[in-house]
Amino acid sequence: MADLINPLFDNLFRKHQKSNKDFILFADGSRLTYQSFSEKTQKYASIFKDLGIKKGDRIAFQLFKSVECLNIVAASIQMGYIFLPLNPDYTKEEVLFFLKDSRARLFICEEENKETIDAVKALGQIKVETLTKHGTGSLNCLEKGILGYSKVMECSENDIAALLYTSGTTGRSKGAMLTHKNLLSNARVLKTAWRFNSNDVLLHALPIFHTHGLFVATNLVLLSGCSMLFLPSFDREEIIKLMGDTTVMMGVPTFYTRLLESSALNREKTKSIRLFISGSAPLLSQTHKLFEKRTGHKILERYGMTETNMNTSNPYDGIRKAGSVGKALPGVQIKIVNEDGDIVQKQNIGSIYIKGDNVFKGYWNLPEKTEEDFTADGFFKTGDIGFKDNSGYIEIVGRDKDLIISGGFNVYPKEIELAIDEIEGVSESAVIGAYHSDFGEGVIALVVKLNGHEISKSEIGLNLERKLAKYKRPKEVIFIEKLPRNTMGKVQKNLLRDIYSETFSS
């Protein structure tokens, strides 16, 4: 049994089972070795086996960020289960949908989440176990005194390792089936691209129900055998205080904008860090430039998504272009096409299609949707719109659902947002379309002012007259306190479109 092939488990976990090297560092100074982590993982594997969970079964968990979440993931990979991490903010109704859709066999949640627990038990067929930070949950109790299960199930590279559900902002959430090959191949590529090594210490303040914090961050640590400083969430003051103990930081753009709001952020505080990485949402050019001016570091921006893991990256060595997500990673093919599927020339905007070992297997129980989203030659239609510049760097303009057609002209919100964000007194903006009786859709700009600055609609209009063709200029500018964002920092334009759908109706 010890010789069975499980490439993902072997490369991420099994090779560290006897290592006394620190895997997890905590803010209070405590530490967890790779060996201790492995011992708990094997106990979880034994518990799940005793609960009757079999290879290919789904284990869903909705938990606070903790090492135990990583133990669940590791045990699932060891035993050939499919793990399903759920956002702690999901409501009872959302959780019930995911559990029913995935036909999960086991659901693990916090003991305090009694309403959801009762609803899940009422479904029948789904085992429920609980975890708490204080060691009183049912899974904590089962762990006591149990011997670890050290055998490893054989898995092929095309077996499904994880189900990650898309946000569902344009309809029903879809479960993206990510295979062992998807996860391992992408980690290997990123390890080389970003020069990860066993001496690194990753500052980890991301959630771990998402590709960024769970796969990009954690898998890179495991593959390279380094350590990570594991924080429960983003806390600006604590992160600045702890930066000196780390060598790499991964974050979403809001991490960096919040860090810049602190006068404590400077070159001295960041001198131990060799690499700052940003993803999950677009990083404003302004943020990129301000961060470099303050710290001397150029943030490395990359581009990925739930269905594909990471697709592109600015280079470790070389030019890191503000506003660009860099070039295709090794092994990833990217083409930008027009409505007929023909590749467009450089500098021309089109739909982004992707192919490679990083691209998911398809959508769970949705074969027709899977077929619709792949081309005949195997490229995944990402739904993103962008262009490739003359140097081969890719810029993302937006999502195809964000495209505005006004008076018969295509309007790309990102172009307008960039122009607005350059205006003095503007913090950030979001551009959406709403029904307009004359133009089909009218352009609306939602603008957030910088603290302490005053700026008027007319000033924004005058600035845009010099930068944009008339059909691109907003027909309405609305000042708001802040832009709605999801957990990963992405602006929720679907909410804005709902709120301001009647703007031109009166």
Q: Give the class (CATH, top level) of 189-400.
A: alpha beta
177 to 13, 162, 315, 434: CA distances (angstroms):
21, 6, 29, 34
Report the distance separating Cα 103 and Cα 408, nearest Å. Answer: 45
Q: In what side-by-side order are the strands of the sheet with 394-399? A: 333-337, 350-355, 380-388, 394-399
Q: How far is CA 110 from the centre of its chain?
A: 23
- The pair of structure tokens assigned to 95 is 């959780």
- The pair of structure tokens assigned to 7 is 């490439």
- The pair of structure tokens assigned to 32 is 């967890």
Question: What is the DSSP code (8-state) at residue 180?
Answer: H
Angle ∠(176,180,186) on CA atoms, nearest 5? 85
How many CA atoms lie less than 13 Å away from 253 in the CB half-sphere? 23
Report the distance separating Cα 86 and Cα 84, nearest Å. Answer: 6
Collapsed DSSP state (helix, strand, coil) of residue 110? strand
Strands (E) across 112-247 are located at: 127-131, 160-165, 175-179, 201-204, 227-230
Report the distance separating Cα 17 and Cα 6, nearest Å. Answer: 15
Report residue 347: phi and psi, to 5°. Answer: 80, -10
37 to 23, 44, 68, 151: CA distances (angstroms):
8, 11, 9, 16
Strands (E) across 71-169 are located at: 82-85, 106-110, 127-131, 160-165
List per-block mean pLDDT (blocks of 10 residues) for the chain, which spans 506 residues.
74 94 97 97 96 97 95 97 93 90 97 93 94 85 87 95 76 88 97 98 95 96 98 95 97 91 96 95 88 97 95 97 95 95 94 97 96 96 94 90 81 87 93 86 94 91 87 94 86 92 87
Report the distance separating Cα 371 and Cα 327, nearest Å. Answer: 27
- List the chain domain ranges: 7-155, 189-400, 403-499
Pick left, alpha or beta for residue 464 (phi over 0 → left; psi -120 to 50 → alpha; otherwise beta). Answer: alpha
Please give the CATH topology (third level) of the domain spanning 7-155. Answer: Rossmann fold (3.40.50)
Is there a contact between 450 and 426 (Cβ–Cβ < 8 Å)? yes
191 to 15, 224, 316, 319: CA distances (angstroms):
17, 7, 11, 19
How are beta strands 22-25 and 31-33 bridged, if at all? antiparallel
- The pair of structure tokens assigned to 312 is 């592109």
Collapsed DSSP state (helix, strand, coil) of residue 442? strand
Those residues with Cβ within 8 angstroms of residue 111's Cβ, 6 or more apart along the chain or in another chain: 130, 131, 132, 136, 137, 138
Collapsed DSSP state (helix, strand, coil) of residue 128? strand
Matching CATH topology for 7-155 and 403-499? no
Report the distance separating Cα 129 and Cα 138, nearest Å. Answer: 6
Report residue 235: phi and psi, to 5°. Answer: -130, 110
- The pair of structure tokens assigned to 351 is 């739909």
- The pair of structure tokens assigned to 221 is 């640590």
Instruction: List the CATH code of the domain at 403-499.
Output: 3.30.300.30
